A and B are shown apart, each in its own frame.
Chain A
Amino acid sequence: MLEQSDHPIYLDHAATMPLLPIVKQQMQEALLADYGNASSLHQRGHMAHQIVEAARSQIARLINADPAEIIFTSGGSESNNTVMETFRDRKVAVSAIEHPSVLESAKARASQVTILPVDAEGRVSPADISPDVDLVSVMLANNEIGTLEPLAAIAKHCKKHNIFVHTDATQAFGKIKIDVRTLGVDYMTLSAHKIGGPIGVGVLYVKQGSPYHPLILGGHQENRRRAGTTNIIGIAGFGAAAAWCWDHWSCRKWAGVAKLRNELKQRILQEIPYCTCNTPAEHSLPHILNLSFAAAEGESIQLYLSEQGIYVGTGSACAAGDLRPSHVIMATKHDAEIAHNSIRFALGLDTTEADIERVMQVLPPIIARLRDMSTIKLGEKDVSI
């Protein structure tokens, strides 16, 4: 039988990142402090207000925004929905590989939604953007396959035609350097838990002067842009995570993860036949590696790996709530089997050479076993690269 490791190997950092120790500490401090409502004028309210404003500045500087352009939300999905609410009954273009909170909220609100096609690597071409749309929403980096979109070029094209630009930077945030000014975007979605902050808090960056309509009405919070009593503990955690990224040059650290990611890729492609790499060789986040294993279904691979203490993601329909295979891999590879058979490895800053070694001890026999069990015969369809 396969050896059990002493510790689980978490390779699902794109789903959520473990809380940073400094984040835990600062959230605990905020919890223990007798804070008030950040809107109250008395001392306790003022203390809460200070926590929130410090976090706002810490997040703003990380993307070169003005703190006044930062609106706290409950997370990435709310931020994305808020942008679409602002463009209700307008013409919107979104990429085919956006997060469902962009795709579905656009379809629910816009008068017309254009789905921008992507190439085999997942990249949008600015030339596909029609001049008559009001908003374009293209993510900065894809969460499933790691593709980096040519956002600056897209924004430049859009400005020529007076089109507003939103980017969901949830996955890219903290991993690559982001500057809203040089990118030239009007709206940007961020989430705390993808950078080691808590789940349940996010940000929408809204460039000064851009159209805005709140999604949640009924309060003066966030300068009347998002009603609801301020989530002080969550925001304290978000601020701490953003400060950690700034202080530790997180983008440089993440760039270093590419070496291990590339090693894992090379070893899998060399040691396991009939694999397809779904992550582009260039233009990708440093830590994401998405591969498909012919004839072996993703959920089964995921659960066999989980039994061995290795945690990964999959684009298999079986693992999804709606039983549809990954729309991202369908849009890039146009092949349901490749989507069903896909596994996402998302490395972390603490992933080691030994972790990669253990994956390579465990993964090949799992794939061999599932292929032995499978009705699909290898080589009947050309899926190798």
Chain B
Amino acid sequence: MSQSENTPHTSIIAQNCEKVNTKITSGASPSTSWVYSDLVKEHFLNPCNFLMGDEAQFACDAIGVVGNPVCGDQMKMFLVIKDGKISDVRWKTYGCASAIAATSALSELIKGKTLDEALTVGPETITAYLGGLPEHKVHCSVLGHEALAAAIANYRKKP
């Protein structure tokens, strides 16, 4: 159990996301006052598939990382691969709201896909899925696919 499961946030952590039905549980400000789209906001407030607690405890087949804390964004993807498909995925992200939302969105987009299918998910797909991002945010916060590519490359290098 991670520490955060004991925090008041537990109820807004949805690990298996159905964004269509997910209700945002807090909302001091109306969506019009938010700089990002509603879907970005939802993925930021209720991110899907993030790896809670110690990453060493999560058994996975491949890990990939991209970014640098000095630049303000870093993503790490953890893949469980069965029969050539991504059967499960977790991630960790250090970064801003759009970085968290974009990694969450990516994790939803690649689940169940073959490795080659997953590699076709790029920044445009992620951005479109999220209903757009401020232009200046795209190149620095939509990096998760690079971590995914690194994870897949690491996996394929394995003997």
Contact = CB atoms under 8 A, between A and B. Distances in A.
B132 interface: no
20 contacts: A1-B8, A1-B11, A2-B9, A4-B26, A8-B28, A303-B44, A306-B29, A309-B28, A318-B73, A319-B96, A337-B70, A369-B7, A372-B2, A372-B52, A373-B47, A373-B92, A375-B67, A375-B69, A375-B92, A375-B94
Candidate in B25, B26, B76 with the most chain A CB atoms within 10 angstroms: B26
Interface in B20-71: 25-29, 44-45, 47, 50, 52-53, 65, 67, 69-71
Contact of B95 (A5, A297, A368): A297
Contacts of A366: 9
A360 to B, nearest CB: 13
Given A365-B7, A375-B65, A325 B97 contact: no
Query: What interface size band does chain A fall in?
Result: 35 or more
Given A303-B44, A317-B72, A365-B7, A374 B140 contact: no
Given A300-B95, A368-B4, A376-B94, A318 B12 contact: no
Contacts of A354: none
A295 B26 contact: no
A224 B19 CA distance: 61
A299 B35 CA distance: 12
A210 B25 CA distance: 59
Nearest to B25: A1
Contacts of B110: none
Contact of B26 (A307, A318, A372): A307
Contacts of B96: 297-300, 316, 318-319
A262 interface: no
Given A303-B44, A318-B137, A337-B70, A373 B28 contact: no
Given A307-B45, A323-B136, A375 B75 contact: yes
B interface bracket (residues with beta carbon within 8 Å of A):
35 or more
B74 interface: yes
Interface string B87-129: 0000011111111100000000000000000000000000000
A323 B141 CA distance: 11
Contact of A325 (B29, B65, B72): B72
3 closest A-B pairs by CB: A318-B96, A309-B28, A299-B96
A39 interface: no
B151 to A, nearest CB: 13
B127 to A, nearest CB: 16
A8 B94 CA distance: 27
A308 interface: yes
Interface string A299-330: 11001101111000000111101010100000
Nearest to A373: B50
Interface string B136-148: 1100110000000
A309 B2 CA distance: 27
B60 to A, nearest CB: 15
Contact of B28 (A306, A321, A375): A306
